[in-house]
Amino acid sequence: MRAHEVPQDDSVLEGRRRACYALDAQGRYVVVASRGWEVERIVNEHARDALREQLEAVRLQVLAGKVSALAYHMTVCQMDYRLLAANTGMSRFRVRRHLRPKVFARLSHAVLERYAHAFGLSVAELARLPGLGG
């Protein structure tokens, strides 16, 4: 893309700019400021909508007692059990087991702290869904 072709549409940047690489008149790569690209905004909106739908589906599963609150926080942080296992230093089997509400309810404070740290939450926040209190 040439420097004069770098998109300057309104986007998720909310008026800020970011650096993009483009070719100048001499064919060299230069850094050009961009306000964004409308296509980027549309794709990001679709991704946010999909994440909201996924989060609501997991929230309903938690409320129905099918999965623990751990599943909700994993979805918020866009983690799967493998990534969470790597971030906590636990086995994948153990993390998957903790997705069961009855097992999660019996976890020690030390294990809950490891999960809370991985999500950037307190132990109290980990055990509940936002806005529900429990």
pTM value is: 0.74
**What was the pLDDT predicted at 3?**
80
What is the spatial distance between Cα 71 and Cα 68, in angstroms, rounded to a whole number? 6
**Distance in Å from the first CA to the final CA of the chain:** 52
**What is the pLDDT tens value at each position of the chain, 134 positions in all?**
788 778 787 776 677 888 888 989 898 899 988 877 778 888 889 999 999 999 999 999 999 999 999 999 999 999 999 999 999 999 999 999 999 999 999 999 999 999 999 999 999 999 888 755 44
**What was the pLDDT predicted at 133?**
46
Number of other CB atoms surrounding residue 107 within 10 Å: 18
